[in-house]
Amino acid sequence: MKILVTGGAGFVGSHLVRRTLALGHDVVVLDNLSTGRRENLEEVAAHLEFFEGDITIPADVEQAIAGCDAVLHQAALPSVPRSIADPAASHNVNATGTLNVLIAARDAGVKRFVFASSSSVYGSTPGLPKQEEMPTLPLSPYAVAKSAAENYCRSFHGLYGLEAVALRYFNVFGPRQDPASEYAAVVPRFIQAFRASTPPTIYGDGETSRDFTYVENVVDANMSALEAEAAPGNVYNIACGERITLNQLANGLREQLGTDIEPVHGPARPGEVRHSLADVSRARKDLGYEPRIGLTEGLHRTVTHFTAEPMKVSA
């Protein structure tokens, strides 16, 4: 199979590229390198076709997608705070960009389209764990754009027969996640701070809870979504199905890194969901999904990866 991975030089995308190559697929990567990095693909670069282009430019997508059988659409402008600072940019990439890729996939005769959505679409929907049939009440522009993109996927499946699947990722973490960005995710940001003997900042009281999901579990889900007969037209929670608070996360990472540095607390950030926990039973049933790597093991692997690398300077 020939597979286009949009955002393939990014965090999740680079893991997907490695797995698809290992399974013997032909791989095309489309990335504008705004958040992705060429070095994420350095040791496999000779085995794939790379297009430096942008999903907001239809001609770039059309060029990269030609001849592809499937798409793993990971390209996005991540971060809730970034979307609050610049909602138009978030919409342009995450909603309009996804629509561009869907149109190109339809026109190129792509069979299966797997979209990286987000647990943020649940927003202020009450009740835990989150189940796919719950209404979505997104709080941030990022979440709104991801919700719109999900609906486009559903529409393209119903109208054009494109086998589109949406995977709602819950707080993915792991190796190659950028710790240096202003909008860095919490796990690499905490690790970076503890390594630098700098107190990490926890926004709010630290009792906010998340269902942190190791990246290899997300890769497993994508591989299953490429093949599963029941998947097209549906959305699936992809998570571990367990949650911890940010205070617990910080304490666990502090112990693994052997530091006495204590976090500091800042004001809670707008647009952030208070608690998140996934019901993954639908993904188990339709995709055969099982989170193979739990939180403790995933954090251990992530800490091991980052402590083997030189420190990065924050942007």
Predicted TM-score (pTM) of this structure = 0.95
pLDDT band per the 50, 70, 90 thresholds, residue 310: confident
Go through the chain and tell me how many residues it has. 315
Catalytic pick from 122, 142, 152, 289?
142
Domain count, the chain: 2
Whether the predicted pLDDT of 315 surpasses 90: no
Whether the predicted pLDDT of 182 surpasses 80: no
Interval 21-43: pLDDT, tens:
999 999 999 999 999 999 999 99
Q: What is the pLDDT of residue 166?
A: 98
Q: What is the pLDDT of residue 312?
A: 62
Are 152 and 115 in contact by the 8 Å Cβ rule? The answer is no
Percent over 90 (pLDDT), the chain: 95
Active-site residue flag, 142 = yes
Concatenate the DSSP letters of all residues of 102-114 into one string: HHHHHHHT--EEE
Whether the predicted pLDDT of 48 surpasses 60: yes
In the block, residue with structure tokens 């030609």 = 66
Percent over 70 (pLDDT), the chain: 98
Residues 186, 135, single domain; the answer is no
Residues 81, 98, single domain; the answer is yes
In a domain? residue 282: no
* Chain-centroid distance, C-alpha 291: 15
CATH classification of the domain holding 302: 3.90.25.10
Extended beta strands in 85-232, E state: 112-118, 163-169, 172-173, 201-203, 209-210, 213-214
Q: What are phi and psi of 14, to 5 degrees?
A: -70, -30
In a domain? residue 164: yes
In a domain? residue 314: no
Domain holding 262, by residue range, is 173-210+242-277+293-306
Which tokens belong to 254? Answer: 């502090």
